[in-house]
Amino acid sequence: MEGLQERYDIQEAIKKNVDIVAPDCLVISEEFSDWEDSKRRIDLLGIDKQANLVVIELKRDDIGAHMELQAVRYAAMISTMSFSKACDYYQSYITNNGLNINAKESILDFVELDETELIDFGKDIRIILASAGFSKELTTTAIWLRDKGVDISCVRISPYKFNDDV
């Protein structure tokens, strides 16, 4: 895929333009891995306008090898995250990216809710899989999961070359 690297090129581009794969989503963490006994990482973690957590998993290959299983595992692992914890993770992300905003205020502004209205925060988790392509096994699994009520989407991403830029 034009010599792009998953973590440094694709993830950086998506992080800055998250609406490409997840409209109405606020990225609150990248390479999220705050759990015991696992070194696994969520590429991008976000919150949508309904105050649901959003797992965004990226692959640069053209089949998306096992990313649906990985993302379902991540969704389960963050399913108990509180609003307070999400604010802490977002504050770290803000600091690491040199931004000067308040995490809690920013999230509340984004979801257009008062903190007292966040009783169901993170109750539902969305999964977004973004890759150059998806195998039949992956799409079959994603469709089955959707039929079972899991909010999972596959988004095909393709790099384009314009002059010397990709």
Q: Tell me the per-residue pLDDT of 115-128, one tens digit each, with 9 for 90 and over.
A: 888 877 878 999 99
Per-residue pLDDT of 69-89, as tens digits, reads: 999 999 999 999 999 999 999
Residues 6+ away with beta carbon under 8 Å from 138: 63, 64, 65, 66, 67, 68, 129, 154
Of 4-18, 20-34, 87-101, 142-156, give the lowest mean pLDDT range. 4-18
pLDDT computed for residue 148 by the predictor: 96
Residues 27, 11 contacting (CB under 8 angstroms): no
